[in-house]
Structure 1
Amino acid sequence: MNRTLSVIFMTIWLDAIGIGLIFPILPQLLKEVMQTADIAHYIGILAALYALMQFIFAPLAGALSDNFGRRPVLLISLAGAVVNYLIMAFASHLWLLLLGRAIAGLTSANIAVAMAWLTDITPAGKRASRFGLFNATFGAGFIIGPLLGGLLGDYGVRLPFIVAAGLNSANVLLALFALKESRRPARQKMAFAGLNPLRPMRWLFSVKGLLTIALVFFFLSASGEVYGTCWALWGQDMFHWNGLWIGLSLAAFGVCQTLAQAFLPGPATRLLGERGAILGGIACSSTALIVLSLAQQSWIVFAVMPLIALGGIGTPALQALATRQVQADKQGQLQGVLASTVSLASIVAPLVFSSLYFGLRSEWPGAIWLSVVVLYIFAVPLIYRCTRAPS
Structure 2
Amino acid sequence: MPWAMALLFPFFIRIRKSFGLSDFDNGLLFALFSLCQFVSTPIIGRLSDKYGRRPLLIVSIAGTAVSFFMAAFAPSAIFLFLARALDGITAGNIPVASAVISDTTAPKDRARGFGILGASFGFGFIFGPAISAFTIGFGQSVPFMIAGVISIIATLCTILFLPETNTHMGEVSHGKLFDFAHLIGALKDKMVGMTLLISLIYSTAFSMFIYAFQPYSVKVLHLTPTQISIIFSCLGIVGLLSQIFLLHRLTQWFGVKRTFSSAIFLVMCVFTLLFFISSYVPFLIALTAMGLFNTPIGSLIQTILSQETDANSQGTIQGLNTSYVSIGQIIGPILGGAFATQAIGLPFLAAAACMCMCFFASFRILMPGYHKESAF
How high is the TM-score relative to the length of structure 1? 0.88
Distance 1:387 1:46, change over 3 A: farther
Aligned to 2:89: 106
- 1:18 pairs with 2:4: yes
Which of the residues 196, 204, 227 maps onto 2:186?
A: 204
Aligned to 1:178: 161
CA deviation profile, 1:93-134 (whole Å, cap 9, x unmatched)? 221111111000000000000000011001111101111121
Deviation at 1:185, TM superposition (A): 6.0
Q: Does the residue aligned with 1:213 lie in a helix, a strand or coil? A: helix
CA distance in 2, matches of 1:341, 1:238: 32
Letter in 2 for 1:318: I
Aligned to 2:45: 62
Q: Are the counterparts in 2 of residues 273 and 388 from structure 1 also a CA contact under 8 Å?
A: no
Letter in 2 for 1:367: L
CA distance in 2, matches of 1:151, 1:261: 27
Q: Are the counterparts in 2 of residues 66 and 329 from structure 1 also a CA contact under 8 Å?
A: yes
Which of the residues 207, 228, 235 maps onto 1:253?
A: 235
Q: Are the counterparts in 2 of residues 287 and 307 from structure 1 also a CA contact under 8 Å?
A: no
- 1:29 pairs with 2:8: no
Deviation at 1:319, TM superposition (A): 2.3
Distance 1:27 1:281, change over 3 A: same
Q: Are the counterparts in 2 of residues 218 and 345 from structure 1 also a CA contact under 8 Å?
A: yes
Deviation at 1:292, TM superposition (A): 1.9
CA distance in 2, matches of 1:116, 1:196: 18
Which of the residues 241, 248, 265 maps onto 1:266?
A: 248
CA deviation profile, 1:112-160 (whole Å, cap 9, x unmatched)? 0000001100111110111112112211111110121132111212211
Aligned to 2:101: 118
CA deviation profile, 1:252-291 (whole Å, cap 9, x unmatched)? 1111111112221222223333443223212322232233
Which of the residues 33, 36, 48 maps onto 1:50?
A: 33
CA distance in 1, matches of 2:35, 2:5: 18
Deviation at 1:66, TM superposition (A): 0.4
Letter in 1 for 2:9: F
Aligned to 2:358: 379
Q: Are the counterparts in 1 of residues 38 and 324 from structure 2 also a CA contact under 8 Å?
A: yes
- 1:155 pairs with 2:138: yes
Q: Are the counterparts in 1 of residues 209 and 348 from structure 2 also a CA contact under 8 Å?
A: no
Query: Superposed, which structure 2 residues align to 1:167-316 within 5 Å?
Result: 167-184=150-167, 186-187=169-170, 191=174, 194-205=176-187, 207-309=189-291, 310-316=293-299
Deviation at 1:375, TM superposition (A): 0.4
Letter in 2 for 1:175: T
CA distance in 1, matches of 2:172, 2:251: 40
Query: Superposed, which structure 2 residues align to 1:351-370 within 5 Å?
Result: 351-357=334-340, 359-360=341-342, 364-370=343-349
Deviation at 1:79, TM superposition (A): 1.0
Aligned length: 367
Deviation at 1:380, TM superposition (A): 2.3
Aligned to 2:319: 336
CA distance in 2, matches of 1:215, 1:42: 28
CA distance in 2, matches of 1:342, 1:152: 31
Q: CA RMSD in A?
A: 2.0
Deviation at 1:209, TM superposition (A): 2.1
CA distance in 2, matches of 1:72, 1:203: 28
CA distance in 1, matches of 2:214, 2:50: 40
Distance 1:133 1:113, change over 3 A: same
CA distance in 2, matches of 1:40, 1:299: 28
Letter in 2 for 1:352: L
Distance 1:205 1:245, change over 3 A: closer
Letter in 2 for 1:268: L
CA deviation profile, 1:214-260 (whole Å, cap 9, x unmatched)? 10111111111124322222111112222211111111111111111
Identity %: 24
Letter in 2 for 1:376: M
Letter in 1 for 2:183: M
CA distance in 1, matches of 2:146, 2:193: 40
CA deviation profile, 1:170-197 (whole Å, cap 9, x unmatched)? 1111111111111246347985x51334
CA distance in 1, matches of 2:182, 2:41: 10
Deviation at 1:92, TM superposition (A): 3.1
Q: Are the counterparts in 1 of residues 37 and 326 from structure 2 also a CA contact under 8 Å?
A: yes
Q: Are the counterparts in 1 of residues 265 and 355 from structure 2 also a CA contact under 8 Å?
A: no
CA distance in 1, matches of 2:354, 2:195: 15
Which of the residues 70, 74, 80 maps onto 2:63?
A: 80
CA distance in 2, matches of 1:306, 1:387: 28
CA distance in 2, matches of 1:79, 1:278: 33
Q: Which runs of 5+ in 1 are unaligned?
A: 1-14
